[in-house]
Structure 1
């Protein structure tokens, strides 16, 4: 495997002050607009053929493109997303449907006022989708990784950005193509009220993320074989690209704040540049490939003009980072396996209980007071090395089961290939 040379001068460069200020204002506006108490939930689905459980591609007859076109009447025509003449996204109030690189179908639901709202929105999506899937002869699987197909068997969908991602992630780290083409997740987003609240939630979410990932693990297969990694998707992300994954650098330093996070994301090479909403470039009539070009050694200051960044540019810059927990104008808890909606709802309930209920939040902050980055790294390594016998942060699974209020999870093993729910959506 060939690894591209990285210019660390970019990592040491001082970001454009106007760009830093743009991100700080973006974070501040998230606080002002959203308040606290809401949720967003994203569930990614793996499309597989009923006949042999292999992956369904975007381009095949009655494939993913055909599905999106059949779903168009249910969505807002003004919110359709097209690239290179192909439909790649749909949206309406409360629901959006988008594609990951290997054709994984992501459903984003929210803003939800309580976890129980998830099921009603999701059920409507499935009532519209499932009859089409039955007609086409394939279905959605909620697993963290494709059950039969290898990454090498799955073409990327027609988004221009994925060509640049393939070129970069195919040469960096260990699992780039696997993550892009075969993996699927559940993500939960929450609100914050101010900078202090946001940083505290980032820290708690980062600390408990691997533990909840164990309770909700759901990746029985990897590359067509039985998966041997206790937390497969966590392993893939941690070894994807050290510049932009794992724990946010400096997060557990008591002095860490929004500006530190902004400097980190603005100083790291972008991987690819999205200039589709950069007027100075769009007005030149640049092609789609030029608007989505590789930026392997260029950070935001090299790519974007010397002015305040607009919200689209900011979202793109942040989206090139894949930390365990990510700050946008909300907080995004990432890297959990794709889950059936009932378990996704239970995960959301636990997140709500831990981060929105003051006494639970205070209990977690007290317990993890003084936690360091290396403690989180050690906890992850402990789980990967010992699985059921792991003791993350020095405590057994029984302790975490009670401490996090994860009732009913230890007896349920959806990640076991022998589990009766295998292949059920």
Structure 2
């Protein structure tokens, strides 16, 4: 989630609706300036007893963050309601390392030109945190959901926006607290050249997000037992907050663009307003009222562009638009899959021929078929049914190889080589192996659990740690 550092009190006040599309329109970039921003979260645990460390305990999350200073990272602090400053992130050349609500550690990587750089960045980060972990008895787990922790087992991080969200989540859904406390994801942020380019990428991203969810499904256990799902993390989003999640049917409607997305965001209830270093609780209030100066928690005050940017970060659909597009459907996982997710989406979306081919695969699906697929994938993974072709029923697995072939061709056409002369296509190898086996990663874990592990869930720590 986003890390706010300063109040931008000098930002222009929003005076008219045209300003609402400025962040999105301002994200347009020519192809040679398109970048890849990868975000990945991991669970932190203590090696001796597997507990999730708190913020303040010796060798805990605060100490872990501050230890990154030996690698050149700089602390980012936030003022708490108690008047104390606390470290909530570390900033450096590779982006930002921040803490998620229950101490999950996230690298929000820098915008990079190619996937070789992305994987080098990931490798540097993992090497650094593992070195710190070795000194402090901490280790890091690549899963989509805590496999053995209850909500009560987990600490809460002292970050202002999290307190507001944790209070609000139970009012609007049954699983929002699980989303915040017990899940991890991999995301990739990608650019567009124009409104029309954004629209096509948004539509392909939404239509194929269930395939990404199936390929990366990695959360089949809850509190020590199989939960009946392959991506329970994805299932959690189905009852987190209906006002700010989902497949966004309007994206596929004629006339969709920046203005229509702004209208959607105006209907997403607020969480907070950031003023003078503090988060003011505005949960459930209307940004439309804020535009009119009628927000009850800030009477008479109108929002700035920074307030609007903050608000845009509080919607959680399967694909999110800000000044770039965020692909949000994947569970957290091991190193190869951290590199595999951006490879999947860059291959599909950053080459025009590939983008056109991907759209041709899904453009005739109805919204009902898209929703049905999204709802089936958390349980069925690659065996979820997709719209029939030529009257023949099909599974998601039947088209997965075809989609990966398109992504492969897109990466090959990019021609981005490393110093050894290799292009970016090798980063798809782990996904190709998943399709070859015909099983989502979660199903492979379940096979181990019911087989050689003999029901010993603690084996996850051996198999899935970085």
What range is the shorter-chain TM-score in?
Answer: 0.7 to 0.9
Which residue of structure 1 aligns with residue 395 of structure 2? 396
Separation in 2 of the partners of 1:387 and 1:73?
42
Look up the SS of the partner of 2:252 in the other structure: coil
Q: Which residue of 2 aligns with 1:12?
A: none
User: Higher mean Cα deviation, 300-309 or 208-217?
Assistant: 300-309
Partner of 2:40: 43
Residues 20-74 of structure 1: per-residue CA shift (max 9 Å, x gap): 3223111111104886532100010111122333322223221101111211343
Whether contact under 8 Å (1:75, 1:92) holds in the other structure is yes
Query: In the aligned structure 2, how far is the partner of 1:125 from the partner of 1:347?
Result: 17
1:185-334 correspondence runs (5 A): 185-270=185-270, 272-276=271-275, 282=276, 288=278, 291-299=279-287, 301-302=289-290, 303=295, 309-310=304-305, 312-334=306-328
The answer on 1:365 being equivalent to 2:359 is yes
TM-superposition CA deviations, 1:297-337 (whole Å, max 9, x none): 33354247776732x32321111100000001010001311
2:214/2:382 contact within 8 Å kept: no
Structure 1 distance, partners of 2:17, 2:226, is: 45
Which TM-score applies when normalising by structure 2? 0.79
Distance 1:222 1:61 in 2: 28
Partner of 2:434: 409
Paired residue for 1:23, among 16, 20, 23?
20
The answer as to whether partners of 1:102 and 1:156 remain within 8 angstroms in 2 is yes
With over 3 angstroms needed to count, the CA separation of the structure-2 counterparts of 1:60 and 1:33, relative to structure 1, is farther
Aligned equivalent of 1:351: 345
- 1:72 partnered with 2:72: no
Q: CA deviation at 1:375?
A: 2.2
User: Deviations for 1:169-200, whole angstroms, at most 9, x for unmatched residues?
Assistant: 02321211111111000001111001111111
**Per-residue displacement from partner, 1:345-369 (whole Å, max 9, x unpaired)?**
1221121111112222111222222
Q: What is the TM-score when the length of structure 1 is the normalising length?
A: 0.86
1:101-112 pair list within 5 angstroms = 101-112=101-112
Counterpart CA distance in 2 for 1:321 and 1:152 is 26
Q: Secondary structure at the match of 1:80?
A: strand
Deviates more, 1:351-360 or 1:329-338: 351-360
- Displacement of 1:255: 1.5
In 2, Cα distance between the equivalents of 1:109 and 1:375? 34
Could you say if the C-alpha distance between residues 386 and 33 of structure 1 is closer, same or farther in structure 2, counting changes exceeding 3 Å? closer
> Alpha-carbon deviations, 1:97-142, whole Å to 9, x = none?
0111111111011212111212211222223221221222121101
> C-alpha distance in 2, partners of 1:238/1:75?
40
Structure 2: how far apart are the matches of 1:193 and 1:135? 46
Residue 414 of structure 1: how far off its partner (Å)? 3.3
Inter-partner Cα distance in structure 2 for 1:300 and 1:190: 29
- 1:158 corresponds in structure 2 to 158
- Which of the residues 336, 340, 343 maps onto 1:342? 336
